[in-house]
Amino acid sequence: MHITDIMRANSPTFSFEFFPPKTPEAAETLYQTIRDLESYVPHFVSVTYGAGGSTRDLTHDLVERIQHTTKLDPIPHLTCICHNEEEIQAILLRYAKSAIGNILALGGDRPAGIAYDKSRESFQHAIDLVKFIRRFNESGAHPERRGFGIGVAGFPEGHPATPNRLVEMDNFKAKVDAGADYVVTQLFFDNRDFLDFRERCTLSQIHVPIIAGIMPITSITGCKRMAELAGGTRFPATLLRALQQCQNNPEMVRRVGIQYALEQCHDLLDNDVAGIHFYTLNRSDATRIIFDSLGIPRHPNTPISTV
């Protein structure tokens, strides 16, 4: 289903993010997570893309497996890094053939450990990828006449590559105006950052739905790793204090992280958020606890997947 149809029919939306597994053990964890979360009937799930396309084929395979063997609606991430136009065209054709309805167009992380010259890239920024997908849509190659719904990333705490917040919003507006239908934000831990970002979008005449990215903290090490990957996420003192008080008790850290995320979700819903996107880290327990605590209806009769 096209993303605009999903959001028009459901407000707010609830969704999950997965990443492609690299080992048989990781695959089993992911597929159990998918089985656990499928019964919650999320409005969509997204699938990440490794730096430099390092998990390119794994992403494509996982997206198609979710599409063909579950009731979930997968949205693949697609990045600019290490791709030329012919490769992106081939990927879009593959997804169109599988009736994938939406794409999340991202700049992507630079590959680690190899020489990399961004100036040689066909797509310098996410806006270039958005424009390319929009042209693909206009070509009529997708079975849906409107083509792919196109999502882009939002940065409530500011884009790490653009310290000037006024320039950042100019760039962001240009990216949305190039053809984006919706926004999914990076994770954040202070809702004031999200609400301020949403208001600045309104002032910039950006009117597409903005979905909030939430990551329940379940361990100290995972917390630090995700903060690094997200480009330096800000941790409020109240959260740090709560985590420090129980840092030697992994179960209490998990409980504190889930409770904090739950409070974020309640506040976002009170402020009419368009949707909440959970970064699951391929595990279902924290997200299931939050869903049940929020009172989001669970549908136990949903067919179990065969992944």
* Residues with a known catalytic role: 17
C-alpha span between 12 and 258 (Å, rounded): 20
The CA–CA distances, whole Å, from 92 to 67, 171, 269, 301 equal 15, 25, 34, 33
CB 131 within 8 A of CB 178: yes
Alpha helix (H) residue ranges in the chain: 3-9, 24-38, 56-69, 85-97, 126-138, 165-177, 191-203, 220-229, 237-245, 250-270, 285-294
Q: CA torsion, points 142, 146, 147, 151, in degrees to nearest 10?
A: -170
- The DSSP result for 40-73, as a single string, is T--SEEEE---GGGTTHHHHHHHHHHHHHHSS--
Q: CA torsion, points 185, 186, 192, 196, in degrees to nearest 10?
A: -50
Please give the DSSP secondary-structure letter assigned to residue 118: G
- Contacts of residue 266, defined as CB under 8 A and 6 or more positions apart, other chains included, come to 294
**Token output for 219:** 């361990």
Q: What is the CA radius of gyration of the chain?
A: 19
**Token output for 34:** 């998918």
